A and B are shown apart, each in its own frame.
Chain A
Amino acid sequence: MQQTDRRQFLKLAGLAGVTFTAGLFPRGPADAQSGDFHFVQFSDTHWGYKGAANPDAEHTLERAVATVNGLATKPDFIVFTGDLTHTTDDGKLRRERMQRFKEIVSALSVKDVRFMPGEHDASLDKGEAFKEFFGATHWTFDHKGVHFIALDNVSDPGAKLGDEQLAWLAADLKQRKTDDRIVVFTHRPLFDLVPNWDWATADGAKAVALLMPYQNVVVFYGHIHQEHHHMTGHIAHHAAKSLIFPQAAPGTAPKRPPPPPFDASLAPLGTRDVAMAKAVTITELPVVKA
């Protein structure tokens, strides 16, 4: 589906809370044996944030956890794509925030929960505290015929993956067939979404180039605090909403504007359900059930 078609689709569907069939995997599943399943993506929870952009910050994450626990069919796993905590210069406070965050999300009834860092978690200490609480900052796993890869473009404060991680990615991809189903998680966009707002990854194009030979690749990321869909060639990139405050739409001003005023309905916030079958179907989930 072309970008304009997608926009049209979203418009027709009324934007909020739509089920979005991403039209992928473009070549269909490589493995006819693989079962359908779904997972849930949380992003940009910014635990510890205090400010006017979200006076409900102390409860928003708990509300989202309750909503996801109430889903009719349990997801197979849950992934957090970074900015679990809001940044602080104080290493002790950072660890307290990570501890409290961990306690809150331990209420999730799904126990397969995977974590990635965002720049707020990892850029000031190169991922040191994150690793203490959540383990590796980049990793892979396989689930029901799909290969998942989490890339870390935040532990380097210059928003780089770095040559070492790119070599690790290349080595991992070498073991895949070109029609394998591959899902990539990142925090920041791997492509130049808005370079002037620093909505990019310094060496993200290198990762996209490594992924290009593979026909069935979908990327899920966070960082921009809103739903967004973009294609680099045949690879789709889907940005998720935040659980703290939304950001301005990409590129709407030369400098990134401050977040919009707080919406007490929490409608601009949420998580998302991703169903993996012949197609990838994204359903945006509200923080609280309507």
Chain B
Amino acid sequence: MNRRLFAALLIGGAASGAARLLAATEPGIEVSVAASRFEYTPDKVKGKVGVPLTFVLTSLDRIHGFKMPEFGIRTDIVPDKETRVTITPTKPGTFTFFCDIFCGDGHEDMAGTLVVEG
């Protein structure tokens, strides 16, 4: 948190400060996606323009990747750990996410779709 904002919150008093804090960290949409060879479950995710969308990623077997070039994000997904990535779509459309860590015969087909509505 920005120091100045934090100071303003303190000065503004507990009640209004809490309200402002909430507005600044709007939770948006959260969607859990499980990766396993060679698919994501679910492989179709919906989002909304302007609403932060957090992928909660887990792996059921081995290390996989999660990449969305149009949003400039990528992460490893390792077993026994939750990995969270957040994007905020700015335009409607259909976008692809895919595994970018070679994981075997079928890796090339490991992909899913994000549909963003206006």
Contacts and interface: CB of A to CB of B under 8 A. Distances in A.
Contact of A196 (B63, B69, B101, B104): B69
A65 to B, nearest CB: 25
B65 interface: yes
Interface residues of B, number: 20
A195 interface: yes
A190 B30 CA distance: 35
Contact of B102 (A86, A119, A192): A119
A124 B102 contact: yes
B108 A158 contact: no
Contacts of B113: 254-255
Interface string B59-77: 0000101010110000000
Interface in B59-118: 63, 65, 67, 69-70, 94-96, 98, 100-105, 107-109, 111, 113
A178 interface: no
A254 B101 contact: no
A258 B109 CA distance: 8
A89 interface: yes
Contact of B100 (A158, A192, A258): A158
A281 interface: no
Nearest to B106: A87
Contacts of B102: 87, 119, 123-124, 154, 157, 159
Given A196-B69, A255-B111, A255-B113, A89 B104 contact: yes
Contacts of A154: 102
A86 B70 CA distance: 30
B3 to A, nearest CB: 35
A74 interface: no
A87 B67 CA distance: 22
Contact of B98 (A119, A158, A196): A196
Interface of B: 63, 65, 67, 69-70, 94-96, 98, 100-105, 107-109, 111, 113
Given A86-B105, A256-B108, 5 more contacts: A89-B105, A158-B65, A158-B100, A198-B108, A255-B111
